[in-house]
Structure 1
Amino acid sequence: MTISSANAPSTSRSLRMFRASILLTAAALGLTDPALAQRVTDNAAGGAEDAFGTSIGNERVGLYSGNDVRGFSPVTANNIRLEGLYFDRPASFTDRLVQSNVVRVGLTAQNYLFPAPTGIVDYKIRPAGNDFVLSTMFGLNSWGGGRLELDAQIPVIEDKLSLVAGVAGFVDELAPGNQSFFGSYALAARWKPVAGVEVVPFWSRIDLYNREAAPLYTPEGAFLPPRVERRRFPGPEWADQRNTVQHYGALTKARLSDKWQLAAGLFRSTSDSSTNFAQNFIAMRPDGTAIRRVTSDPPLSLAGTSGELRLSRTFADGPRRHTVHLAVRGRERVSRYGGGGRIDFERAPVDEVLDIPAPDFTFVPQTGETVRQGIAGVAYDGRWAGVGGLSLGLQHTWYAKRVDRPGAPLARTDDQAWLPNITASLELSDRLAVYGSYTKGLEESGIAPDSAANRTEALPAILTSQIDGGLRWKAPWGMSLIAGLFDVRKPYFAADEANVFRELGDVRHRGIELSAAGPLAKGLTVVAGAVLMQPRVTGDGVRLGRVGRRPLGQPSQLLTLATQYALPGVDGVQLTFNVTHRGTRAADTRNLVTLPARAILDAGVRWRFDLADNPALLRVQLQNLTNAYDLALVGSGSYQVNSPRQLTMFLTVDF
Structure 2
Amino acid sequence: MSIFYRTTRSCWLLCASVLTLCLPAPALAEGVAAASKGQPEEEPGDELPITSEPTADEEEATQTVAENAIAQSNDAFGRQVGSERTGLYSTSEVRGFNPVDAGNVRLEALYYDQVNTLSPRLASSSTIRVGIATLGYAFPAPTGLVDYGLRKASFGRSLTVDVSRRERGHEGFGYDLRLAGIAPGVGLFSGGYYRASQSEDSSRAHRANIGFVLSYDPKAETEVLAFASVGGTRDNEAKPTIFVAGDALPPEIERFRFLGQDWADNATDTLDGGLIVRTPLGEGLRLESGAFFSGKRDLSRFSDLMTGVTADGTIGERAIVASPRSFDRSFSGELRLVQEFSLLGRAQQVSASLRGRDRLRSFGGSQRISLGAGSLFIHDQRAEPTFAFRDTNRDKVRQLFAGLAWSGALTRFLRFDLGASAIDYTKTVDYAAAETPDVATGAKPIAWNGSLALALTKRLTLFGALARGMEEADVAPDRAVNRAEAPSAINTRQEELVVRYDPDDAVTLLLGAFRISKPYYNLDTALRYRLLGTVVNEGLEFSAIARPVEGMTLLGGAVLSDPSLSGEAVNQGLIGTRPVGQPKVRMTGNFDWRLDQGSSPLSFDFTLDHKGSRPVNALGTLLVGAETTLDLGMRYRFTLGDADMVLRVRGENVLNTYGWNVSSSGALTYISARTVQFQLYAEF
Task: Compute the TM-score of the two structures, normalised by the length of structure 1.
Answer: 0.92
Q: Deviations over 1:141-183 (max 9, x none)?
A: 1122112110111124455101111121011100111000100
1:39 and 1:652 in contact (8 A); partners too = no
Identity %: 33
Please tell me whether the aligned partners of residues 152 and 213 of structure 2 are also in contact (alpha carbons under 8 angstroms): no
CA contact (8 A) 1:111 1:423 kept: no
Q: Look up the match of 1:543.
A: 571
Change (3 A) 1:388 1:454: same
> 1:586 aligned to 615, 618, 626, which one?
615
2: CA distance, partners of 1:421 / 1:138: 45
Describe the SS at the equivalent of 1:143. helix
- Could you say what secondary structure the match of 2:261 adopts? coil
User: How many angstroms does 1:568 deviate by?
Assistant: 5.0
Kept after mapping to 1: 8 A contact 2:594/2:603: yes
Q: Deviations over 1:616-644 (max 9, x none)?
A: 22221110011111111234432111111
Residue by residue, what CA displacement relative to the aligned partner does 1:106-165 show, whole Å, maximum 9, x if unpaired? 010111100001111010010213311111121111122112110111124455101111
Map residues 353-364 of structure 1 onto 2, 5 A cutoff: 353-364=379-390
| TM-superposed deviation, 1:434 | 1.0
| Amino acid corresponding to residue 57 of structure 1 in structure 2 | G
| Structure 1 contact 381–390 (Cα < 8 Å) conserved | yes
Question: Is the 8 Å Cα contact of residues 54 and 62 (structure 1) preserved in structure 2?
Answer: yes
Alignment partner for residue 103 of structure 2, among 71, 78, 83? 78
Q: Distance in 2 between matches of 1:128 and 1:622?
A: 32
Residues 568 and 187 from structure 1, CA distance in 2 versus in 1: closer, same or farther, beyond 3 angstroms? Answer: closer
CA pair 36-335 structure 1, distance change in 2 beyond 3 A: closer
Equivalent residue, structure 2, for 1:323: 349
Deviates more, 1:333-342 or 1:632-641: 632-641
Partner of 1:241: 266
Partner of residue 163 from structure 1, selected from 182, 188, 195:
188
Which runs of 5 or more residues in structure 2 are unaligned?
1-59
Whether 1:334 aligns to 2:360 is: yes
Decide which of 372, 375, 381 is 2:407's aligned counterpart: 381
1:471-550 to 2 correspondence within 5 Å?
A: 471-476=499-504, 478-521=506-549, 523-550=551-578
The within-5 A match list for 1:396-475 is: 396-405=422-431, 406=433, 407-475=435-503
Mapping for residues 556-567 of structure 1, pairs under 5 Å: 556-567=584-595
Counterpart code for 1:339: G
Moved more, 493-502 or 296-305: 493-502
- Give the residue type in structure 1 aligned to 2:310: R
1:642 counterpart residue number: 671
Of residues 147, 150, 155 in structure 2, which corresponds to 1:130? 155
The match for 2:286 is 261
1:314–1:323 CA contact under 8 A, matched in 2:
yes
Kindly provide the CA deviation profile for residues 430-471 of structure 1, in whole angstroms up to 9, marking residues without a partner as x: 221111101111000121122322222212210000011111
Letter paired with 1:350:
L
1:475-498 Cα shifts (integer Å, max 9, x gaps): 325111101110000111111111
- Preserved CA contact (<8 Å) 2:304 2:319: yes
Describe how 1:266-281 pairs up with structure 2 within 5 A. Answer: 266-281=291-306
CA contact (8 A) 1:38 1:133 kept: no
2:274 and 2:634 map into 1 onto residues whose CA distance is 39
Kept in 1: contact 2:171–2:197 (CA 8 A): yes
Deviates more, 1:37-46 or 1:583-592: 37-46
| Counterpart residue number, 1:10 | none
Structure-1 separation of matches of 2:327 and 2:66: 38
The question of 1:297 aligning with 2:326 is answered no
How far, CA to CA, are the matches of 2:288 and 2:664 in structure 1? 40
40-49 or 563-572: bigger deviation:
563-572
Contact 1:36 1:131 in 2 (8 A): no
Question: For the Cα contact (< 8 Å) 1:37–1:615, is it kept in 2?
Answer: no
Q: CA deviation at 1:557?
A: 0.5
What is the Cα deviation at residue 201 of structure 1? 1.0
Alignment of structure 1 residues 41-80 onto 2, 5 Å = 41-80=66-105
Tell me, in whole angstroms, the C-alpha distance in 1 between the residues paired with 2:109 and 2:229: 19
- CA drift of 1:224 comes to 1.5
CA distance in 2, matches of 1:388, 1:47: 28
Q: Does 1:394 align with 2:420?
A: yes
Q: Is the 8 A contact 1:225 1:286 kept in 2?
A: yes
The structural deviation recorded for 1:522 is 5.9
Aligned counterpart, 2:582: 554
Matched, 1:215 2:240: yes
Structure 1 distance, partners of 2:312, 2:411, is 67
The residue number in structure 2 matching 1:98 is 123
Could you report, residue by residue, the CA deviation over 1:46-81 in whole angstroms, capped at 9, with x for unpaired residues?
Answer: 011100111111110001111111101110100000
Q: Structure 2: how far apart are the matches of 1:272 and 1:239?
A: 17
Q: How does 1:598-637 map to 2 (within 5 A)?
A: 598-637=627-666
Q: Distance between the aligned counterparts of 1:36 and 1:341, measured in 2? A: 46
Q: Distance in 2 between matches of 1:203 and 1:576?
A: 34
Per-residue CA deviation, residues 373-419 of structure 1 (Å, 9 max, x unaligned), is 01000111103685231110011101111011223111011111011
Cα displacement (A) at 1:206: 1.8
State the partner residue of 1:225: 250
325-334 or 222-231, which deviates more: 222-231
Question: In 2, distance between residues paired with 1:426 and 1:609?
Answer: 47
Quick one: which amino acid aligns to residue 190 of structure 2?
A: A
Distance in 2, matches of 1:130 and 1:579, equals 36
1:194 is displaced (CA, Å) by 2.9
1:344 counterpart = 2:370: yes
Matched residue type, 1:235: G
User: SS where residue 542 of structure 1 aligns?
Assistant: helix
Quick one: which amino acid aligns to residue 416 of structure 2?
L
Distance in 1 (CA, whole Å) between partners of 2:377 and 2:300 is 24
Does 1:177 pair with 2:207? no
Partner secondary structure for residue 154 of structure 2: coil
Aligned to 2:683: 654
Q: Within 2, Cα distance between the matches of 1:235 and 1:548?
A: 32
Tell me, yes or no, if structure 1 residue 595 matches structure 2 residue 624: yes
Indicate conservation of the 8 Å contact 2:66/2:681, yes or no: no
Deviation larger for 279-288 or 517-526: 517-526
Equivalent position of 1:3 in the other structure: none
For residue 347 of structure 1, what is the amino acid of its counterpart?
A: A
State which drifts further: 171-180 or 215-224: 215-224
Report the CA distance between 1:267 and its aligned residue: 0.8
Q: Which amino acid aligns with 1:91?
A: N
| Equivalent position of 1:8 in the other structure | none
- Check the 8 A contact 2:425/2:444 in 1, yes or no: yes
Counterpart of 1:513, as a letter, is E
Which amino acid counterpart does residue 660 of structure 2 have in structure 1?
L
Query: 5+ unaligned residues in a row in structure 1: which ranges?
Result: 1-34
Contact 1:64 1:103 in 2 (8 A): yes
